[in-house]
Chains A and B, each alone.
Chain A
Amino acid sequence: MNFNWFRKEKTDYPDFYLAYLEGFKKKPKSNIEETRFVAFDTETTGFDRKEDRVLSIGAVSFVGKSIPVSNSFELYIHQDIFKSETVKIHGIRKNSGYKKVTEMEAIQAFLDYIKNSVLIAHHAGFDKNMINEMLRRNGLGKLKNKFIDTGVLFKKSKHKIYEDTLQKHYSLDDLCKELNVLKVDRHTASGDALITAMIFLKILARLDKQKHLKWGYLLHG
């Protein structure tokens, strides 16, 4: 795949982005127990990839089954675009008291945090697009990380015979109910990130250890 002439010269990138790219040159851990996962969630002004903006990013990271609270990630981004109708979901007002950073600062902090970890999100496609769009606006390339979508993984984890009983679409709330995950701090980015991490660990525990605990099975396109 030699489409090199389409690529921007790497030297244009800021140092932190180069460092981020550098991380993917290392051979990833093949062992799931030793892999660093980052579960994350974004709160946005809406669902339009082009028009809407990311207001906050929350994430937790873990290796194995332990999630250190000290290593959780939470930041709020200053945006000019503001939609009052979504405030009631995420609760982030235009002039709320949180310390806010610029998009570029947010990107730097986020990439420093995720490094080459495997990312987990619920309906990962949306969060991935929103972040990628933010990267593009700031003249950077797309996320390079492997992705796991808890929505897709949950459906896959159900045995074939239950296929007809599966819903087309599972919201985070649905999965909390199905898997008995406590809903605390729902609709804040870091609260949802923690819930997503719990959901992932619970699905993982339910999977057939011999058959399914393989990267090909877990990863989402």
Chain B
Amino acid sequence: MKNSIAERVCDFLKTYPPFDLITFEKLLEIAEQTVIVYLEKGDTLFKADQPANEYFYMVRAGAISLFHTENNTKELVTINDTGDIFGLRPLIARENYKLTATANEETIIYALPIKNFQSATKTNDKVYKYLITAFATNAYDSYTTEENNEIFKDYLPSTHLDVVNFQTANYTKTPVTCPVQSTLQEAASLMCQHKIGCIIVVDDTKKPVGIITNSDIKNKIATGKFPITTLVTNIMNSPVITAKKDLTVADGQLKMIKNSIGHLCITKDGTINSRLVGVLTHHDVLVTLGNTPSVILKEIKRAKRTKKLRIARLKANTLLKSYLEQNIPLTHIINVISEINDAVTIQAIEIALKKMPTPPPVAFSWLALGSQGRREQLLFTDQDNALIFDDVPEDQYEATQAYFLQLAKYVTKSLNKIGFEYCEADMMANNPEWCKSISEWKTQFQSWILSPDNKAILLSSIFLDYSNIYGDESLVDSLSETIFEALENSALFYKFLGSEAIKSPSPLGIFKQFVVEQNGEQKDLFNIKSRGLMPLIDAARLLVLSNQIKNVNNTYERFEKMAEIDANNKELYESCSYAFKALSKFKTKQGLLHHNSGKFIKLETLSKEEKLKLKRCFKPIHDIQETLKLRFDLKNFI
């Protein structure tokens, strides 16, 4: 029987990854078994610790929040919008759900049958690769890794859309083996001799029958459960998981994740009934993938010359692109990229210090300002930086400043070479105005805060988003203290900041149309930075400053912090945080697409879904601006 509804489901699916990689006929097999589910706001689709459903899910309209619950605290991991897939755990591993999925608003989702999906895609590597990535993203990145601050965990190498994933895995072709008759002691000696962490037990015909790893020796021998004279067959893990020679990296990785193991035995015909020809370890997979944050980071730390730094930073751009293509949560992307940017800056300073004839005369701190200071810089942008040095006697001031200006000159030059353009407004540490002693800096900020004018606001909005990248952190802390003291006495300053935050009104006009630029070169383009991001950035800054919150620099983290301390407006702050992330992602994607900053968006190039997504972000902007107007009494303040 003709099923038009299934065809329409296909039409929708195929516009989103990974379904764009599946043929229409195969897709139809999936669509025919799909269930369309309607959810009211607050309805729960699945709960953490519940056994897996036979479906995974895609948002058709509306939004689904994924929560992680620990010790009774609910933490938002991510919000899935139209076209996003989630609930992927049962596709990869037979485990209970780890997250809870709840409708954030009235939502329609497609429940896609895992069985049909698997049979339709079993030979499609690309689809699997996408899924492990999407899964790994929601499963680990969002909370586990960020919470523990271990964002460079290497178990996430699949998060790269590089060709390497389709390369045949480069396995060890001369695996170390021992016969079934060996004692554990003999096996362990072999492992020592070859400096390896695992050994394969083979029978007389060289078929793999088991595997022994370091942890088996630790768990079964060192604990005294078995003597070292025991036969290897007593403690080996059996049977082994096998694979064929032409295994791709993505496949190998999937197999490892599925079976939670670190080694695959490569055999002649891919089953345990044929001769062992090699071993693929998790380490091999990582080496093949190469382009992981930790590899890039190591490369940066080892770089002795600016040129090497430039190469490493460019790799990060490839990484960024693949992250975005795979819909990895922006919080994770931002963390990775800012960590890399910081590392690049640190290394550039180290290199510059070596060029100086003497070590620094006094302690100093290198500050990143603006977007890097907020740790939200994704693409190459202008460099904004400043330098604080410790107080020196007056007669030495000039010489000291000269030393640091020279240092800053080296650093900014090398950052420029790496790809960070010089700041047009010259807000850089090699400008004597922004390379000053701590006392001078304190005076500077006090003057901005206590007698604000428009220029002061413009400058302070950049300088207030500072973070210490290199050097003596206590200098920065003492500066912060002075700033917050000054802030206590300046309601006027807040009003100035507030009027800055509400300067660009909600980006939607009265006809629910996007407000586009009226004239100039950018006529008819939508400025996502000034209309979307800046109001949120400005609002977040004002809110944390007026609440005396220190050391929270990310705009989205600032809103999250506000949500914590001001429970009445929790929802508003959370939606602001979400809007900021979504808009940043938009801007970055556009930037990568057009090789620019992504600031201006040609509306007609957006799909309807994208426009909807954009519009969704504008409501919180409007709401937060209204809140600021009331809170800081901005109605009559010009």
Binding site for B on A (CB under 8 A): 58, 60, 65-70, 72, 74-76, 98-99, 180, 182, 184-185, 188, 190-191, 194, 198, 201-202, 205
Contacts and interface: CB of A to CB of B under 8 A. Distances in A.
Given A74-B1, A184-B8, A191-B8, A68 B106 contact: no
A201 B38 contact: yes
29 contacts: A58-B4, A65-B43, A66-B36, A66-B38, A66-B111, A67-B35, A67-B37, A68-B34, A69-B6, A69-B34, A69-B36, A70-B6, A70-B32, A72-B5, A74-B5, A75-B1, A184-B8, A188-B4, A190-B3, A190-B5, A191-B4, A194-B36, A198-B38, A198-B108, A201-B38, A202-B106, A205-B38, A205-B40, A205-B106
Interface in B53-111: 60-61, 106, 108, 111
Given A185-B8, A191-B8, A202-B106, A69 B3 contact: yes
Nearest to B4: A190
B8 A70 contact: no
Contacts of B122: none
Nearest to B1: A74
B271 interface: no
B35 A69 contact: yes
A32 to B, nearest CB: 14
A178 B219 CA distance: 64
B33 interface: yes
A213 B366 CA distance: 65
A104 B6 CA distance: 26
Nearest to A99: B2
Nearest to B40: A205
A194 B35 CA distance: 12
Interface of chain B, main secondary structure: mixed
A74 B35 contact: no
Contacts of B2: 74, 76, 98-99
A44 B38 CA distance: 29
Interface string B110-153: 01000000000000000000000000000000000000000000
A191 B12 CA distance: 14
A112 to B, nearest CB: 13
Contacts, number: 72
Contacts of A58: 4
A69 B31 contact: yes
A69 B9 contact: yes
Nearest to A67: B36
A191 B8 CA distance: 9
Query: How many B residues touch the partner, as a band?
Result: 20 to 34
A188 B521 CA distance: 46
Contact of B38 (A72, A74, A202): A202
Contacts of A98: 2
Contacts of B108: 182, 198
Given A66-B35, A68-B35, A194 B106 contact: no
Given A58-B4, A68-B33, 4 more contacts: A67-B36, A70-B34, A184-B12, A190-B5
Interface of chain A, main secondary structure: mixed
Given A75-B1, A202-B106, A65 B32 contact: no
A60 B1 CA distance: 14
A179 to B, nearest CB: 9
Contacts of B11: 184
B3 A74 contact: yes
Nearest to B113: A70
Most buried by A among B4, B6, B37, B111: B4
B39 interface: yes
A193 B257 CA distance: 43
Nearest to B108: A198
A61 to B, nearest CB: 12
Interface string B1-28: 1111110110110000000000000000
A99 B5 CA distance: 17
A185 B7 CA distance: 10
Nearest to A98: B2
Nearest to A109: B1
The 9 closest A-B pairs by CB, nearest first: A67-B36, A201-B38, A205-B40, A65-B38, A69-B34, A68-B35, A66-B37, A72-B5, A190-B4
Contact of A191 (B5, B32, B33): B5
Nearest to B30: A69
Nearest to B12: A184
Contact of B33 (A65, A69, A76): A69
A182 B61 contact: yes
A184 B9 CA distance: 10
A113 to B, nearest CB: 11
Nearest to A201: B38
B104 to A, nearest CB: 15
A68 to B, nearest CB: 5
Most buried by A among B11, B36, B43, B60: B36
Contacts of B6: 69-70, 72
A68 B5 CA distance: 10
A188 B11 CA distance: 16
A179 B9 CA distance: 21
Nearest to B5: A72
A70 B35 CA distance: 8
A69 B108 CA distance: 14
A60 B241 CA distance: 45
